[in-house]
Amino acid sequence: MLRRRCLKLSFVIVFSMTTGFSLFLHRLEISEETAPLPLEHYCKNLHDKFLAMKQLKSAQNATKFFMEQLLHRTDLRSSCNASGKLFLTRNNTKLGQRITYEVDRKAFKLVDKMVYDMLPETHPWGTSRGLGRCAVVGNGGTLRNSKCGAEINSADFVIRHNLAPMNYSSDVGVKTNLVTVNPSQITESFQGLCHARRPFVEKAASHGDAHLAIAAFSYGPNTEISFRIFYTMRDMRPQQGVLYFHPDYLMTLDRYWRKKGLKCIRLSSGFMLMSAALELCEKVDLYGFWPFALDLFEKSLPNHYYDNIPAKRGVHTMPEEFMLLLEMHSQGVLQLHIGECQTPS
């Protein structure tokens, strides 16, 4: 019997104009079968709604948008505290304490002198002032031929994921301040840094002097590989610092979004850093966040802007995350960029 899972997603957009209040309700039904279904049946509707939303946002009251941003920032800050706990530092971690793992809560790592010496004194960008306008750059295929590079480069702070390739500068830009590294990448592509340290360092160097952010204490096997990354960069490229995500922050963030209705095994790294950016940045622009195989004009897209390797199933729930992003976009909390960027005249 053909297995079918139907995912229903909806969002509501409320906006005010001189004529009063209007309400949009949009519902998507995305079916997954053993033989993939074409996606044209919802892409056209989503395209129309997204364009309508862009027009409506321009008519929204700027004060209302500011208040929505402030509300989300305050809510996240009081619940998760990225400014104080996004990364492990000597300010929030004591010598001799136990670090409890994010996923396996029964496992822990003792903070001995070796671990303590790896930690920065505090967050490298400080916390007293915001980071300005932040661009959080995903790896979605919608970035290909987007011409968003210049717009991304103009941001005050640029966040990227999984050491994504930088040889598409007209589409994705060249500026990076923070880039995540997935420990599984190191095992699969760099022999666990046992014999392939220079290729890894060259890959990291393609992001300039950006800090590398790693979830060293999510799963036990991640820790040793993350330590190898630290020592490799210290020995061969010390100008690029290595930061370890605080497992308590990631766990608290997971709980925060579950209370908001998001159900997943684990948040994607893009969604994690979008959440941190909402706390730390004055304005948040998202690029390359699009989890579907067709774009808004019903054209096929690669899975990533740099390849078409299918995503691994069962860990992240990208469509559900995307709908939350779309809801926040409609509220003015963040700016979601899909398709081509407008080139300055």
Q: Is 316 a catalytic residue?
A: yes
Q: What is the CATH number of the domain that holds 203?
A: 3.90.1480.20
The answer as to whether 219 is a domain residue is: yes
The answer as to whether 126 is a domain residue is: yes
Question: Is this model's pTM higher than 0.85 or not?
Answer: no
Higher pLDDT: 131 or 36? It is 131
Question: How far apart, in whole angstroms, are the C-alpha atoms of residue 314 and residue 249?
Answer: 23
For the residues 7-18, what does the mean pLDDT come to?
33
Taking only the tens place, the pLDDT of each residue in 265-285 is 889 999 999 999 999 999 999
The answer as to whether 19 is a domain residue is: no
Which position among 123, 207, 211, 316 bears the catalytic label?
316
Taking only the tens place, the pLDDT of each residue in 316-339 is 578 899 999 999 999 899 999 998
Q: What total number of domains does the chain contain? A: 1
The answer as to whether 62 is a domain residue is: no
Name the residue range of residue 217's domain. Answer: 71-337
The answer as to whether 269 is a domain residue is: yes
The answer as to whether 214 is a domain residue is: yes
The answer as to whether 39 is a domain residue is: no
The answer as to whether 12 is a domain residue is: no
Query: Is the predicted pLDDT of residue 11 greater than 50, yes or no?
Result: no
